[in-house]
Amino acid sequence: MTAKEVTKRAISFKGPLRIPIENLSSPDESDIVLVGSAPKYWEWHEVSPGAEECFDENGCRRRRFGHSGIGEVASAPVQNWNDLESFVFPPLPDSWRMDTESQVQLYSDKYVMGDLGVALYSTVDLRGMDTFLYDTVLEPEKLMTLIDIVLERKLAQIKDYARMGGVDAVAWYDDWGIQDRLLISPCTWRSLFKSGYAAMVEEAHKHGLHAYWHCCGYIWDIVPDMVEIGVDVVNLDQPSLMGIDNLGRSFGGNICFSCPVDIQATLPKGDSKLARDEARLLLDRLGSFNGGLIAKVYGGFESDLDILPEVVEAYIEMLRSYRYVTCV
């Protein structure tokens, strides 16, 4: 069974022979690969000692310190609503399609996800966080206009990936949670954003693609909405924040989870046994439905979070040794 088949079976609850591994920073060691990522085309320029800036695919000016990471938005392109009349998204480089199609062919036996980057949450970057929060209360109609513009672009990107062939899913990275709640109220989120995400999932499914959503933080209130609109995979890097038992009891078997051992509560402690115990809990609670669990390696950020590589390897090796728990 190929990496592609194993992953598809895990997502569809069809009894894969093993747990698929998601290690996007090391494609050769992963069952899942991500293609078409826009940040690789960002052109960073030093603006002061230790500080770099670039413009991203949304036209936002970003700043970072050091020479790694995606930095933060330093200047939003739609600072007032008059800017919206002339706003257009910068085009991706001409080489993007050729590069992406080449990656798809290279990893034809893997489960291939087309990267949509930040999806509807990019309205936060386009307006700036403070202004966005005001918009949700004072200017919701104008904010909806901006959401629709972003949505139109994302639907077009989904169609682009579908036309390539060989792509199995589209993935987006919209973090609506903070440590103990959503960034905005669940009611406001539903009124402004839910229908747009539903349209993205519908477009993906229309072309035979899965919908994969990375969403950090405490998002308990909108997980039922994700299930309702048909999201296939939700990637939670802090699964213990909402309780692994709770997630399994409420949503297990209804949506596939992609999870590392918790990157805040567990991995930084440097305890391999603790990591293996949590990995087994993830398997028992989320992967006991003829599928439903993808084991994620939180790669590329170990030094930032004081994560020991041997601890990551400990829980991944443990999960590799188990077959899926099959429901009878």
Helical spans, DSSP H, in the chain: 3-11, 95-106, 122-127, 129-138, 140-164, 186-189, 195-206, 223-229, 244-251, 272-286, 309-320
Q: Is the pLDDT of residue 14 over 60?
A: yes
Is pLDDT of 305 > 70?
Answer: no
Q: How far apart are CA 36 and CA 160, in angstroms?
A: 11
pTM: 0.94
At 302, the pLDDT band (50, 70, 90 cuts) reads low
Q: Is 206 left (phi over 0), alpha (psi -120 to 50) or beta?
A: alpha
Distance CA 30, CA 43 (A): 28
Q: Which residues pair with 65 in a beta bridge?
A: 51
CATH architecture of 3-40+79-320: Alpha-Beta Barrel (3.20)
Strand partners of residue 293 = 257
- Alpha carbon separation from 272 to 27, 309, 314 (Å, rounded): 24, 10, 6
Tens of pLDDT, residues 94-138: 999 999 999 999 999 999 999 999 999 999 999 999 999 999 999
With a cut of 70, say whether residue 304 has pLDDT above it: no
Count of positions (residues) in the chain: 328
Task: Write the DSSP symbol of residue 221.
Answer: G
- Helical (H) or strand (E) element with 172: strand 169-173
* 24-80 pLDDT per residue, tens: 888 998 999 999 999 999 999 999 999 999 999 999 999 999 888 899 999 999 999
Confidence (pLDDT) at 326? 45
Helices 244-251 & 272-286 angle (0-180, nearest 10): 10
154/160 Cα distance (integer angstroms) = 10
DSSP at 93: P
Give, for 262, the enclosing helix (H) or strand (E). none
